[in-house]
Structure 1
């Protein structure tokens, strides 16, 4: 789940930087029935090359490509839209409109996006609009037939996604541990917990050492196992 906090004074500082294989692993591990885990590094590179994500890096060699936290979230949203059969043309047109009309650098990490029947809508100032049609207002009754791109919530001041919860009890916060997966509400990386358990430390002992619950330790382990399979 993506959640937001109320403190965004430094939201563009220490935003978390991910290389392409790492980003693809997180996207795959966060797979759901609505968004199956089938997102590899080659696809992410293609999206960058085509300008769909991080267009300023379109000519950067593959082994030097890096994306930040907000670009990672944008990939997550765009992947969900593509899964819902929204065309690349519609996605790009909406992104352009949001960037030009609202001055947003990362539109898909800032706005509530809804989709249905292959179309894309944005909830803007409590009004449903079609960004690909230059902000044309949509009929309100359509809202009942649309699906919100899941796991997004926004800061009340900036509308910017502040934290991603890709799995229960696991979050990626760009201001914590450089955006690495951590146990929710802590600064404890899930990899630290996994390292101790894989080394033979009992789960209850790890929970005591980190002042966590058994459920939190097991959730961290479940996440790390997903990562190891991607």
Structure 2
């Protein structure tokens, strides 16, 4: 059996700029999560590890696992504004509880892990009761954008698309399909291939017929690629 830390889910594959676009995160923000930081408590202490640790520190690309970690961190930081040092302490706690360096990509995090994380955040930043509820609900809701395998490891990610309801999973990234590039769910057709025909002047209905998908899927691919280009 292939070790988790040697498989396709932990292979360097995504340039930081691409990962940031897929996730809707500013590039500068994602880069900050990939850097070590001086210790805030004692300048004589070793630098703190990055929030997201790439599979090979000598290569700039992120893995699929890193992509999912950044998705969860985006929820925590953007939605709830939790400071990085508190997030780091909470993640260290989660790593110890789950005995893994990647607690955010485990299916267990979606269930009891969210409660453990929020409880830990309450100890660190005194989250209000309403704040606890909001954080739990937001995390559990947006974690539905991730699918796990039978071993509980994240294997597929469904990015959010503007103008498409969050309940709909139209596009996904899966390292086992098209090398992890964004594809239309149910077809495996890369979104870039669809948009290349649109850019060449083809009509949406003709592209849908060409790739045996629906006009709605073609429109979602166009929107997804457009928001990536604008990022």
Q: List aligned pairs for 1:64-143, cutoff 5 A.
A: 64-83=59-78, 84-111=80-107, 123-124=111-112, 128-130=115-117, 133=120
Q: For 2:5 and 2:150, how far apart are their aligned partners in 1?
A: 11
Q: Which has the higher contact order (CA 8 A, sep 6+)?
A: 1
CA deviations on 1:51-93 (whole Å, 9 max, x unpaired) are 11116766x4xxx411101111111111211120222223212
Residue 149 of structure 2 corresponds to residue 161 of structure 1: no
Please name the residue that 1:53 is paired with.
52
Matches of 2:171 and 2:91 in 1, distance apart?
Answer: 29
Counterpart Cα distance in 2 of 1:55 and 1:70:
9
Contact 1:165 1:171 in 2 (8 A): yes
Equivalent position SS for 1:201: coil
Counterpart contact for 1:181–1:189, Cα < 8 Å: yes
Which residue does 1:4 correspond to in 2?
none
The two structures have a TM-score, normalised by structure 1, of 0.72
Structure 1 residues 131 and 111: CA distance shift in structure 2, 3 A? farther
Please state how far the C-alpha of 1:104 moved relative to its aligned partner.
2.3
Other-structure match for 1:148:
138
Where structure 2 has 5 or more consecutive residues not aligned to the other structure, the ranges are 37-49, 124-128, 165-169
Q: Distance in 1 between matches of 2:118 and 2:92?
A: 8
Unaligned runs of 5+ in 1: 1-8, 29-38, 114-121
Over residues 189-219 of structure 1, what are the superposed CA-to-partner deviations in whole Å (9 max), with x where a residue is unaligned? 0000000111011211111111101111111
Distance 1:144 1:164 in 2: 25
Distance 1:14 1:74, change over 3 A: same
Q: Which structure has the highest helix share of the two?
A: 2
Q: TM-score, normalised by structure 2?
A: 0.71
Contact kept, 8 Å, 2:21 with 2:228, in 1: the verdict is yes
Instruction: Give the C-alpha shift of residue 171 in structure 1.
Output: 1.0
* 2:216 corresponding residue in structure 1: 215
The equivalent residue for 1:186 is 187
Residue deviations 1:99-154 (CA, integer Å, cap 9, x gap)? 223222321122566xxxxxxxx7428x93347749x9xxxx98755423232145
Contact in 2 for aligned 1:98/1:131 (Cα 8 Å)? no
Q: Using the alignment, how far apart are the partners of 2:7 and 2:31 within structure 1? A: 25
Which digits, 9 at most, give the CA deviation of each residue in 1:171-196, with x for residues without a partner?
Answer: 11121111111001222100000001
Give the structure with the larger strand fraction.
1
